[in-house]
Amino acid sequence: MFSDTALSWIAGGAVVLGALGATQPAFAQEDFYAGKTIELIIGFAPGGGNDLLSRVVASHLGDHIPGNPAIIPVNLPGAGGLTAANQLYNSSPQDGTVIGIVSQAVPLQSKMIDNVEFEMSGFNFIGRVQPSASVTMVWHTSDVMDIEQAMEEEVILSATNIGSSVSLYPRAMNEFLGTKFNLIMGYEGSAAAMLAMERGEVEGHSTTFEALMAANPRWFEEGQVRILVQHGLDRDPALPDIPTSVELAPEENRAVMELIMSSNDIGKYYFTTPGVPEDRLEILRRAFDSMVEDPDFLRDAEAIGATVNPMSGEDLQAMIARFDSIDPALLQQASALYEE
């Protein structure tokens, strides 16, 4: 959940995020999924951390849903997850047979850009597997040794598109910390962008720590990459000596950086379309809760470098609703990141 320090960006005071009481699904719905297929829309290109995790989820979630439906993962990258979110909101069936995952940055982005055809709080949230720890790193051959040096000289990073957190966080540091990251856009996902870093096309890349550890754990373990900064409200336990971009922000920009980086608390989350019957949503939420305690799921998640730290669908729904109450002045300040 959001830290106490992040409450400053919400207009009108604090909101308590308590887990809502679970109710038993109606028996009439328990056989709904028998013989059916659930489509899992992955708003990312194949091969990255979100894709790998989603394929683990697809292989386990159906085991916890009455009727044991097959879950078919489908990649739908584009516009930092907005393409997938637009489809899920507007044209996917609203019966609980389609679920999705998009970028952690989408709830904030949806308040700041024009090509949005959905209300994030209108989705029905199933649960979060883990918060994210995003990092900006350089390849070991770069002469940039720390984030302070990135404030003095240009650092070339591979990136995907303007709407993704891959580009959002370096752009935020340029705007509010004074770094000099130069983003080379157009790579199809973090897997391709990290390969560009390895090949020497660029100096570095910004992505989640989970994506790095899922795809190339030896890079971190053997010092092939140098992490300059991490993004979140607090330092990740796995990176205790790496500063956060929030703590580096000058006082006048601290609140807007907290707003932007609070997206990492949302992390890797799953949701379904608007209009799903309450008792069917209850089935999906309780199946998710059961899955994240399943030893087989935990084993497979660990194998791809995921650290399971779940949040219930009810708490996640309340967290997302808070984005409807952002202080307009902070939102306007953050919106500068989307101006060409």
Residue 29 has a pLDDT of: 60
Same domain membership, residue 96 and residue 17 = yes
Same domain membership, residue 127 and residue 143 = no
Residue 1 has a pLDDT of: 42
pLDDT beyond 90 at 10: no
What is the tally of structural domains in the chain? 2
Choice between 194 and 13, residue whose per-residue pLDDT is larger: 194
What is the average pLDDT across 87-95?
A: 97
Quote the domain boundaries for residue 274: 4-131+266-338
pLDDT beyond 50 at 6: no
Residue 222 has a pLDDT of: 96
**What is the Cα–Cα distance from 288 to 57, expressed in whole angstroms?**
9
User: Is the Cβ–Cβ distance between 274 and 89 less than 8 Å?
Assistant: yes
Same domain membership, residue 123 and residue 13 = yes
Residue 30 has a pLDDT of: 67
Residue 204's closest CA among 158, 145, 141? Answer: 158
Q: Which of 261, 280, 315 is the last residue of a domain?
A: 261
Same domain membership, residue 227 and residue 115 = no
Same domain membership, residue 284 and residue 248 = no
Kindly report, residue by residue over 33-55, the tens digit of the pLDDT.
Answer: 999 999 999 999 898 889 999 99
Q: Copy the structure tokens of residue 160.
A: 């995907």
Q: CATH number of the domain that 167 lies in?
A: 3.40.190.10
Beta bridge partners of 268: 130
**What is the Cα–Cα distance from 285 to 143, expressed in whole angstroms?**
48
User: Is the Cβ–Cβ distance between 142 and 330 less than 8 Å?
Assistant: no
Q: For the residues of 154-173, what is the DSSP string, one character each?
A: -EEEE---TTSHHHHHHHHH
Mean pLDDT score of the chain, rounded to an integer? 89
Choice between 325 and 17, residue whose per-residue pLDDT is larger: 325
Same domain membership, residue 140 and residue 102 = no
DSSP state of 137: E
Residue 270 has a pLDDT of: 98
Lowest-pLDDT range of 11-15, 139-143, 166-170: 11-15
What is the average pLDDT across 212-237?
A: 93
Kindly report, residue by residue over 71-80, the tens digit of the pLDDT.
Answer: 999 999 988 7
